[in-house]
Amino acid sequence: MDRKPAVFFDRDGVLNVDSDYLFEIDKFLWIDGAIEAVKAVNDAGYFAFVVTNQSGVARGFYQEADILRLHDWMTSQLAAHGARIDAFEYCPFHPDGLVERYRLVSDRRKPQPGMIADLLKKFPVDVSRSFLVGDRPSDMQAARAAGLPGHAFPGGNLRDFILPLLASG
């Protein structure tokens, strides 16, 4: 199978406005240009992935089912604009979690590269042309650990930020 490049998006602060421990659809706000950025990634022939730490599960704020419900809603919103995320990966674990079964150190929690590594095993990704877009140092560290360039999204319009990155790839 032919390999193709991928864009790994952090979720909170990149695709949506970061409001602490977001899981409710009615509180979700897309970042300006986010839907158009995902569509641009799709149209450029890249995989579009989401890799997101969701320690709110370990902290007892919400359940994994809430994350899945939100990601399903995001999928439907994107589909209405002809865009798609090829896969969502999330890490519900945190070493200081209150919920015992989620209280652990995980190689899937950024800055570790586990979520990215898992996607690289599942999809035929051309790593040499792939990159991550995040808004925190832990995103950049995870990208580096996975052998990918990381690009720090400073805010503003995500489509305007991503188009030059796609053009240079």
- Say whether 10 is catalytic: yes
CA distances from 122 to 108, 118, 168 (A): 15, 6, 25
Using an 8 Å Cβ cutoff, are 110 and 53 in contact?
yes
- Say whether 72 is catalytic: no
Using an 8 Å Cβ cutoff, are 7 and 133 in contact?
yes
Q: What are the DSSP calls for 125-149, one per residue?
A: B-GGG-EEEESSHHHHHHHHHTT--
Catalytic residue among 12, 118, 139, 160: 12
CA pair distance 129, 168, nearest whole angstrom: 9
Nearest to 53 by CA among 14, 26, 83: 14
Catalytic residue among 2, 10, 20, 96: 10
Residues classed as catalytic: 10, 12
